[in-house]
Amino acid sequence: MKDASAFISFLVFFPLLGSPWIAASLDDPQYDHTAYTKCKEEPEKPLYNGGILEPHQLPQSASSSPALLLHNLTTSTKYSFSSWVKIQSSDSDSALVTASLRTDNEAYNCIGTVAAKRGCWSFLKGGFTLDWPSYSSTLSFQSSDGRDIAIVIASASLQPFTDQQWRRNQQDMINKVRKRAVTIHVSDNNGDRLQGVEINVKQVSKDFPFGSAIAKTILGNVVYQNWFVERFNAAVFENELKWYATEPHPGQINYTIADEMLEFVRVNRIITRGHNIFWEDPKYTPEWVRNLAGPQLESAVSARIQSLMSRYREEFIHWDVSNEMLHFDFYERRLGPNATLRFFQMAHESDPLATLFMNEFNVVETCSDANSTVDNYISTLRGLRRGGVSMDGVGLEGHFKEPNLPLMRAILDKLGTLKLPMWLTEVDISSTLGDEAQAIHLEEVLREGFSHPSVNGIMLWTALHPNGCYEMCLTDANFRNLPAGDVVDNLLGEWRTKEVDGKTDEHGSYSFEGFLGEYEVTIKRGDQTANSTFALCQGVETRHVTILL
């Protein structure tokens, strides 16, 4: 064991409460979405000016486990943490560095990671919440593979948010990115504005895609179909497009079920994701494909893409091209390291207008999985882009147990720097927690996703089967809401503009703020009426609509 005094020399003591300066910094702080994904010669300034940390007290020398000692951490608080990190090693150019936290009662093995490099600074962003208050806690940095690598940190920051402050920040962001101000002007045929005209405005569709997986169980089930259409504007087929479902035996291709499901979504004007072309996990690769290699496998995968993509060209808005490629590598081992790149290229040639996605688990759910850290995701995606992949997207499955919301937001921040379409693609909460806890955590995850400016859509993984759902159902078999279903219904109502009734003012105008989407307007004065429609798209300026009466 190393000398305890050597370890303690890297501890930095921060009194977290009681300072007037600290009290002022906690006056409803605004969350900072700033993140960096490229290594820099010098670290940037700390976020929040260090928050409740004192930047000048950071350890100045390298250690295999530099640490900060934190006092008086509380529950009902969300802590956003960040730091710049580099390594000093003669035998390694890079290392995955993990930030962990040990409190009086618990150990949090990962509150953030970064792929740190030698000779430049990399940005780690993460966070945590506590189940129990802690008088004394240690936040430390280690190489994730246990190597004894010298680590240096700089510009560290720890910013606490009360639950109320966190929720207010979410609502502020929703108002900025999911809503927009509208002014409706009413004029006569001479162009004169009309005062006192009655106005009724109804939102008829939503701009933000919010949906769920469906399975073949929805076919012929009118009650299920009506329940789905009343709620969702997006869908994804749970298993029915996967290779093992469409071609269980070589050459015996059958798209009948997928075609029937596609007809259902078409009729109801529901946008649909294509899931998936290939799955890197050999367990979910058709058995006959697992027995192929070399030219035979090349021929099979080419035929799979040609068959699937030619049949459904321009039908699906997305395709998950090579599912879970950070965890599994069946095709790379058989066809070489550029196999996935070729899959993306062939898929793009077959359907140029579809957005091609990576789709992966344990990216936002945790940072303890070394295969799917945020930096590994970014590095893999950048490699695909360098190889010529276009119109790529960030797919985050979101199979949560107990979500770490500050960590989730920090990871979304880093992925958001890529400026690519980003979706939560398979959201659910572990069934091990029970119905009530599932509902609580589901609401947390959905609010986090909907309020994040870089998230473009959310899909639930709640396809209903006779024996239940994959992990989480919204209803029972008779479509009576479970607690998670109540959460979804309440949020769908909250994230929709209520019907608006009013009258034009002395300037012949009426203003309101609405969620993005399509609207119908009816205006009335005496026995005169007029109807109109308008679209409310994202923008910072007030949307002006003129209607003649």
Catalytic residues, by residue number, are 324, 426
Side chain identity at 376, as an amino acid letter?
N
- Judge contact between 424 and 449, C-beta under 8 A: yes
Q: What whole-number distance in Å separates Cα of residue 188 and Cα of residue 207?
A: 31
- Judge contact between 427 and 460, C-beta under 8 A: yes
Q: What are the tokens at 389? A: 């992949």
Long-range contact pairs involving 257-261 (C-beta distance under 8 Å, separation at least 24): 257/216, 257/219, 260/216, 260/219, 261/214, 261/216, 261/218, 261/219, 261/237
Residues 449, 451, 452, 453: is their CA dihedral positive or negative?
A: positive
- Judge contact between 224 and 217, C-beta under 8 A: yes
- Judge contact between 387 and 337, C-beta under 8 A: no
Q: What whole-number distance in Å separates Cα of residue 439 and Cα of residue 516?
A: 26
DSSP letters spanning 417-463? TT---EEEEEEEE-GGG-HHHHHHHHHHHHHHHHH-TT--EEEE---
Q: Where are the alpha helices (H) located in 254-392, listed in sequence order? A: 256-267, 287-290, 294-311, 330-335, 339-350, 374-386
Q: What whole-number distance in Å separates Cα of residue 210 and Cα of residue 403?
A: 20
| Close Cβ partners of 279 (under 8 Å, ≥ 6 residues apart) | 242, 243, 285, 322, 323, 324, 328
SS3 labels along 115-139 = EEEECCEEEEEEEECCCCCEEEEEE
Burial 328-339 (b: 16+ CB within 10 A, else e): bbbbbebbeeeb
Side chain identity at 385, as an amino acid letter?
R
Side chain identity at 147, as an amino acid letter?
R
CA 103 to mean position of chain CA atoms: 29
Pick from 229, 270, 233, 164: nearest CA to 515: 233
